């Protein structure tokens, strides 16, 4: 395998390019995006240990998405002849690959299912100059709602930050990609892959991941059924409800711009 060093902002390949190899991320961050009727939509942001670009190579088709380095990134290139040896026969890499693939398929399916009727907010590009630095915290209010679950309070240090119901009742729990997993029993308010917090076009957003009931963001319903799968998060406190409006999963997401 050859090693490539990619600069932040550099396009690794574009949608429609010829597929020649797959990539294993040694360090850095890569965004996978596609063009839709709503504009460019992010499918995933993937980091060290993850693999991308393999589908076009395996199926001998043009690239179905664009890959862009969001940070200075080091990649190992994997030719078709090497793929089985480097990925399929290595349990450590195969496990990560399957988890990444399932997340990507679910996100693509969600975008395709909402192309005709869901709205995606149009947000402005960040102003030129020094990029702002933010601190983002998420905190539960289970002490107030009476839900029997330990309190949750975290500073978000990676994006996207994924939230969902614990996979304790399924054999594929090891493939879950949640950063917060909440135990819950029937009737469920949370889906296993419920939502995620992300940063795009200069704004923090909460994005639905194909959940059954959706979420409420500062009084706005975010779900496939509501026709809106992404909601902007404001600087300061954001009141979040995961599930129906009367759900006990009430949280505050606080966004603080640092000096």
CATH code (residue 57): 2.60.120.10
Residue 187, preceding peptide bond in cis (omega within 30° of 0): yes
- Please state, in angstroms and rounded to a whole number, the distance separating the CA atoms of residues 198 and 179: 13
Q: How confident is the model at residue 92 (pLDDT cuts 50, 70, 90)?
A: confident
30 CB-near residues (< 8 Å, 6+ apart): 12, 23, 45, 46, 47, 52, 67, 68, 69, 70, 73
Total domains, the chain: 2
Query: Which has the closest alpha carbon to 42: 34, 50, 30, 54?
Result: 34
* Residues 138 and 252 grouped into a single domain: yes
For residue 63, how many other CB atoms are within 10 A of its CB?
20
The CATH number for 148's domain is 2.60.200.20
- The pLDDT score that the predictor gives to residue 176 is 59
* pLDDT at 13 > cutoff 50: yes
- The pLDDT score that the predictor gives to residue 214 is 95
- The pLDDT score that the predictor gives to residue 8 is 93
- Please state, in angstroms and rounded to a whole number, the distance separating the CA atoms of residues 247 and 225: 17
Residue 127 lies in a domain: no
Residue 126 lies in a domain: no
* Residues 180 and 89 grouped into a single domain: no
- Give the mean pLDDT of 18-40: 86
* pLDDT at 96 > cutoff 50: yes
Residues in a beta bridge with 210: none
For the ranges 47-61, 85-99, 123-137, 221-235, the lowest mean pLDDT is seen at 123-137
* Residues 66 and 171 grouped into a single domain: no
Of 82-96, 124-138, 164-178, where does the model show the most confidence? 82-96
- Show the domain range for 192: 133-258
* Residues 146 and 251 grouped into a single domain: yes
Residue 183 lies in a domain: yes
- The pLDDT score that the predictor gives to residue 125 is 39
Task: Note whether 202 and 123 are within 8 A (CB).
Answer: yes
* Residues 107 and 12 grouped into a single domain: yes
Residue with the bigger pLDDT between 18 and 96: it is 18
Residue with the bigger pLDDT between 185 and 201: it is 185
* Residues 109 and 162 grouped into a single domain: no
């Amino acid at each position: 395998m050859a090693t490539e060093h990619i600069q932040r902002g550099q396009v690794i390949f574009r949608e429609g390019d010829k597929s020649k190899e797959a990539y294993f991320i040694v360090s850095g961050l890569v965004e996978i995006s596609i063009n839709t009727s709503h504009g460019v939509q992010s499918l995933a942001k993937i980091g060290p240990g993850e693999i991308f670009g393999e589908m076009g190579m395996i199926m001998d088709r043009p690239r179905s998405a664009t890959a862009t380095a969001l940070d200075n990134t080091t990649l190992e290139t994997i030719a078709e002849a090497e793929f089985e040896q480097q990925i399929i026969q290595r349990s450590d890499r195969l496990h990560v690959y399957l988890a990444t693939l399932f997340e990507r398929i679910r996100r693509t399916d969600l975008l395709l299912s909402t192309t005709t009727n869901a709205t995606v907010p149009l947000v402005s590009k960040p102003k030129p100059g020094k990029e702002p630095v933010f601190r983002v915290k998420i905190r539960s209010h289970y002490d107030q709602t009476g839900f029997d679950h330990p309190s949750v309070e975290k500073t978000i240090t990676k994006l996207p930050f994924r939230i969902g119901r614990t996979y304790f009742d399924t054999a594929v729990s090891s493939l879950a990609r949640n950063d917060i997993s909440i135990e819950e029993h029937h009737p469920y308010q949370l889906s296993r892959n419920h939502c995620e917090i992300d940063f795009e076009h200069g704004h923090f957003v909460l994005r639905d991941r194909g959940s059954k009931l959706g979420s409420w963001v500062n009084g706005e319903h975010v779900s496939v059924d509501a026709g809106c799968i992404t909601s902007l998060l404001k600087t300061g406190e954001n009141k979040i409800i995961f599930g129906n409006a009367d759900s006990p999963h009430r949280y505050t997401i606080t966004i603080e711009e640092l000096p």
